[in-house]
A and B are shown apart, each in its own frame.
Chain A
Amino acid sequence: MNKIRVSKNKISNFDNDKVIVEGNTINFNYSGEYEIEYVDCNDIFLIFNINGCNIKLCESSFDNNICIKNTYNIKKGYLVINKFYNNKSVSEELNFNLYECEDRIDYTFSDICLGEEKYLININHKNKKTISNINNRAISLKNSKINFIINSNVIKEGIDSVLNQNTRIVTLDNSDAKICPNMFIDLDDVSAKHGSVIGTFNNEQIFYLMSKGISYYDSLKLLIKGCLLSDLVVVADKKMKILEIIDRYWR
């Protein structure tokens, strides 16, 4: 995998002739898989152009107080993002623009929320048969605050588009969580689904695990791992890092 490091709010020198970086814009014209890590960042503003190719991005940010505004322009392309965050605080705006027929974004995000986190996700279906799958999974810790606003917009040209939004926040102790899923659709020929769940883990599941000899704490940890990792596709060393972080909070 190719690593793109964004350090101190700047894209570090990136030596790969398949990717063209111009200021804060990253242009992808060839299919490939890339890892993006935000290091020591507090203010990010990036534009990703995916032109006629399939791109997999694995994004991560750890221990930052981060403010992000990223735009992903997909033109004749398919973008898959798998993203993991564990930050001090987050304020994030993401814009996904699906310009051409059959353009697609699959977005899978997992998060351990410590402080205050705000996410605004806009998905703009600007052509027919465009597909968006937006998946968020968060565990919010004691006294944290987390808020998702997800807007799927389909203009008149977007016939036969498919929109999925699925957000689950598991609240531990007392934390404040909100999800606001919106679907603004101008026409009928669209398949749209959304599911939003906020809550703790199911007691019945915890009883089941404990009845097999697993302690309350370890049962919780199994469920947390399941929630954060089951849908996330990441390379082995990233997965190790996430497991280390989970171990840090739930020893």
Chain B
Amino acid sequence: MLSIKKLNVSVDEKEVLNDFNLDIKDGSIHVIMGPNGVGKSTLSRVIMGDNRYKVTNGEIIFADVNINELTPDVRSKMGIFLAMQNPLEIDGVSNQDFLRTAMSSHAGKNIGLYDFILKCEKASEELKMDKSLIHRTVNVGFSGGEKKKNEVLQIKLLNPKFIILDELDSGLDVDSLKIVAKNILSYKEEKKDTSILIITHLSKILEYIKPDYVHVLIDGKLVATGDYDLALDIEKNGYNKYIDMSNVIVKE
């Protein structure tokens, strides 16, 4: 599905990812954990194609295609989806207009209003979203949880193959997190080849979505890889051990 090789990324002249490697197979769930500021969101944005994050070396291969030079809209249409840590407020644009335009772009044809409303109402009911959110301005005045649900709504409408969830649990209360996780799992159940990359600094979400692989990111590099037990270990003992490991690597 996704293969990242020897990736270096800088933003604002500062190198954030350094010799970063990651392989994600069809249908698997990976987690990247790490303390604040180590480059987790940077990774998600560079996969999505945010041009402020410069790839200075290496390649990102998605579905056997090098996507380094592709714009975010093309990547999205190939099946990559990023649920951003802080979904943006888009002044003046109605959520309905936005969602329908996105769906139409994906379909390559205009999605009729009736068709759209049917799909949207079903999906937002499953997410227990307030109906009015569809008619409001994109993310403006949404609570943290409503913004996150709006991202998951888009997953259900756009049918991605590869989903990145950047700090999905931040802003969600326990009940909402359960609903959101249930929706993501049933999406994956329906489309078994879907791969998921969960980015988080806390392991709460992993109680609901069990990962196949857990990686630890420190200072732009993966310093450890394991299974769910690794996440449990981090929850108990924190990141210090891994930060020390990364220092050793730097000294070498």
Contacts and interface: CB of A to CB of B under 8 A. Distances in A.
Interface of A: 203-205, 207-216, 218-219, 222-223, 225-227, 229-231
B93 A225 contact: yes
Given A212-B154, A218-B105, A229 B92 contact: yes
A211 B76 CA distance: 6
A154 to B, nearest CB: 30
Interface in B86-126: 87-88, 90-94, 97-98, 101-102, 105-106
B171 interface: no
A216 B92 contact: no
A215 B90 contact: no
A211 B72 contact: yes
A205 B90 CA distance: 6
Contact of B77 (A213, A227, A231): A213
A212 B102 contact: yes
A240 to B, nearest CB: 15
Contact of A210 (B71, B91, B92, B94): B71
Nearest to B98: A222
B101 A211 contact: no
B106 A226 contact: no
Contact of B101 (A208, A216, A222): A222
Contact of B73 (A215, A222, A227, A229): A215
Contact of A222 (B87, B88, B93): B93
Contacts of B158: 212-213
B218 interface: no
A216 B93 CA distance: 15
Contacts of B131: none
B210 interface: no
Interface string B59-98: 0000000000001110111000010100110111110011
Interface residues of B, number: 29
Contacts of A211: 48-50, 72-73, 75-76, 82, 84
A219 B105 CA distance: 11
Contacts of A229: 92
Contacts of B97: 222, 225
Contacts, number: 82
Interface of chain A, helix or strand or loop or mixed? helix
A220 to B, nearest CB: 11
Contacts of B49: 210-211
A212 B76 contact: yes
A228 to B, nearest CB: 8
A226 B154 contact: no
Contacts of B90: 205, 208-209, 222-223, 226
B240 to A, nearest CB: 34
Contact of A213 (B92, B94, B106): B106
A67 B106 CA distance: 46
Given A208-B90, A216-B71, A223-B93, 7 more contacts: A209-B98, A210-B72, A211-B50, A211-B76, A213-B102, A216-B73, A225-B92
22 contacts: A203-B52, A207-B51, A208-B88, A209-B90, A210-B71, A210-B72, A210-B76, A211-B72, A211-B75, A212-B158, A213-B73, A213-B106, A214-B98, A214-B101, A216-B73, A222-B90, A223-B90, A225-B92, A225-B97, A226-B91, A230-B93, A230-B137
A116 B237 CA distance: 66
A210 B98 CA distance: 11
A230 B136 CA distance: 11
Contact of B92 (A208, A218, A227): A227
Going nearest first, the 10 A-B pairs with the smallest beta carbon separation are: A226-B92, A230-B92, A213-B76, A210-B72, A226-B93, A208-B88, A212-B102, A211-B72, A213-B105, A210-B73
